[in-house]
Structure 1
Amino acid sequence: MRVLIVGGTSSLAQTLIPLLRERCEVLTAGRKGCDVELDLCSRDIQIPAGIDCVVNMAAAFGGKDLTNTLQAMDVNVLGVIKLCHASSKANAKHFVHISSIFSDLESESPFFGAYSLSKKHSEDIAQFCGRELRLPVAVMKPSQLYGVGAQFRKHQPFLYTIMDKAQRHEDIDLFGSNDPLRNFIHAQDVARIISAVIATKIEGTYRCAHPDNVTYSQIAAAAISAFESKSKVRFLKDKPDIPSNGFACDKTLFRLLGYFPRISIAHGMQMEAAHRRQAW
């Protein structure tokens, strides 16, 4: 099987590629540093012939200004249309689109923005193109991704700051008096799930959240334990409360694949701590 990963330099792609190469020929595509040069903002895009499965991991994360909002729509929505048509033209047999569980946020949520909106549209576009082009499509909606190594820090700065403080034995300050929820899923779990989706040629749209939401204090406690730290957790009650952003776990995809996420936040912190110790 030949698999093309679009957005091939992303941290998730770099976690997935070694798994796929055990049984597939893998090509990467992107604006730079990939086997195939491909820019989803280009007017016309093409993919190589003979590709069995296209995995779209490319994404623009948006922002609050017009330029970033337009870029999110251009890459995450219009780019998906062009990529689906290019995949169909190249006779690809399966299209796997990596979206985000943030697409399920209500517009009133403080976490809803251009990224969430564009991802919501991207899912509809992928399924629409799949139907019109008779292209089998799977859409996966992972929650917040983290993993081993500095490449994951960019998108989860708060999580890695907690680990940094624990590593340095510094106290961990949390704003407000509540203990907000988050849902993190490890990149290694998501990579295994994507690999299984490709192998089984599953179609449909699926949530891909960790079964357990975690609180900020649980995250901090896991980091303190993993780094054998003397840090303490303090809630700064004079600061504004931070809203929760947890998600219910729909286990449909996990049951179909016979694979459930295995890496808890405690285990994930231990993996990162071990990685940092080896680098010392």
Structure 2
Amino acid sequence: MESKRVLITGAAGFLGSHLCDRFIAEGYNVIGMDNLITGDLKNIEHLFKLPQFEFYHHDVTTFVHIPGKLDYILHFASPASPIDYLKIPIQTLKVGSLGTHNLLGLAKEKNARILIASTSEVYGDPLIHPQAEDYYGNVNAIGPRGVYDEAKRFQESITMAYHRFHGLETRIVRIFNTYGPRMRLNDGRAVPAFMGQALRGEDITVFGDGSQTRSFCYVEDQIEGIYRLLLSDYSLPVNIGNPHEISILDFAKEIIKLTDTTQKIVFKPLPTDDPMQRQPNINLAKEILGWEPKVTREEGMQKTFNYFKQLPKAALEKIAHKDFSKHNRK
């Protein structure tokens, strides 16, 4: 029987690369696509020798053509950290709108099922807690974070339009804070930021008073949820995340204990529109997918710290970011 063929955009990124691994392990032929603005080929270089993997260096905001059949498309091409999408706001909006439109068109042409990676950021700074899929959100469309939040909200809207108007098989995953190996130490999110500071002997930076909460999901659990959702019969958005909530201040203390460092915690002003609460209601994922996270925060953080510890010293000290200027002018 011929293997099924899947296209994964954002393949050289954190989640995209883990998805490539999972689908290869499941016996699929995988096409990875990435323009490498924020992705890193090191995340998928171990796959290049495999006959069932091919890579396209391509920007999905331009026309996307894949020869031959496609069974599935997973659209994970987007900056996901505030440091990135605040530096490339226009590219972030384009990949959520033009990129999604191109891939929905490709899915329609190939009669392929498409899964869109959305985010808990569609809920904005939520007025209900925890956040369930039927909550419409509290988003500042014109604030600095709006370029990411609204790109993802539009992405969901156009996906549902293709589902309803064209009968396209679509899936939407709303991803809550996910962590694990292959995250970039300099991407600005709490887990790599705190661990990077600890490894470099720097003070741990907490924004605001640290009372804002997050819920951290280990990457293995996240990938399992995404895989199950793709193969399900459910077309509306589904939260995939870990419901165990913790304040950022308490999390910083956990990292200091985990890394066995003596850094002190320093406080800086809270960024504009930074959500004060983030906790998924995963009742729908339990019911529809039979899914819930298995990896405890203690276990997942230890695995992640072990990964960061073995990185070359130069990688730990690297705090400069890519030059995004050429992507921001269009």
**Residues 156/78 of structure 1: CA separation in 2 closer, same or farther (3 Å cut):** same
One-letter amino acid of the counterpart of residue 127, structure 1: M
Q: Is the 8 A contact 1:175 1:240 kept in 2?
A: yes
One-letter amino acid of the counterpart of residue 177, structure 2: Q
Q: Is the 8 A contact 1:136 1:203 kept in 2?
A: yes
Structure 1 SS opposite 2:237? strand
**Bigger mean CA deviation after superposition, 263-272 or 163-172:** 163-172
- State how far apart, in whole Å, the 1-side matches of 2:262 and 2:89 are: 42
Q: Percent same amino acid at aligned positions?
A: 20
1:205 to partner: Cα distance: 1.1
Q: Which residues in structure 2 correspond to 1:190-269 (within 5 Å)?
A: 190-232=222-264, 234=265, 236=267, 240=269, 244-251=275-282, 252-269=284-301
One-letter amino acid of the counterpart of residue 48, structure 1: P
1:201 to partner: Cα distance: 4.8
- State how far apart, in whole Å, the 2-side matches of 1:82 and 1:125 are: 11
1:266 to partner: Cα distance: 2.7
Structure 2 SS opposite 1:250? coil
**Residues 249/158 of structure 1: CA separation in 2 closer, same or farther (3 Å cut):** closer
**Residues 264/30 of structure 1: CA separation in 2 closer, same or farther (3 Å cut):** same
CA offsets 1:158-205 (integer angstroms, 9 cap, x no match): 432321343456553535545221233222221111122233354221
Q: Is the 8 A contact 2:9 2:74 kept in 1?
A: yes
Query: Which of these residues, 20, 23, 30, is aligned with residue 20 of structure 1?
Result: 23
Q: Which residue is equivalent to 1:137? A: 170
One-letter amino acid of the counterpart of residue 156, structure 2: E
Q: Which residues in structure 2 correspond to 1:78-227 (within 5 Å)?
A: 78-92=98-112, 94-105=113-124, 106-108=138-140, 112-149=145-182, 151-167=183-199, 171-227=203-259
**TM-score with structure 1 setting the length:** 0.83
Q: Which residue is equivalent to 2:65? A: 46
Q: Which residue is equivalent to 2:77? A: 58
- State how far apart, in whole Å, the 2-side matches of 1:141 and 1:167 are: 31
Q: Is the 8 A contact 1:104 1:120 kept in 2?
A: no
**TM-score with structure 2 setting the length:** 0.72
- State how far apart, in whole Å, the 2-side matches of 1:220 and 1:87 are: 43
Structure 2 SS opposite 1:152? coil
Structure 2 SS opposite 1:193? helix
1:84 to partner: Cα distance: 0.7
- State how far apart, in whole Å, the 1-side matches of 2:186 and 2:219 are: 14
Q: Unpaired segments of 5 or more residues in structure 2?
A: 42-53, 125-137, 313-330
CA offsets 1:125-176 (integer angstroms, 9 cap, x no match): 0111122222111001112232224x43343344323213434565535355
Q: Deviating runs (4+, > 6 A) in structure 1?
A: none
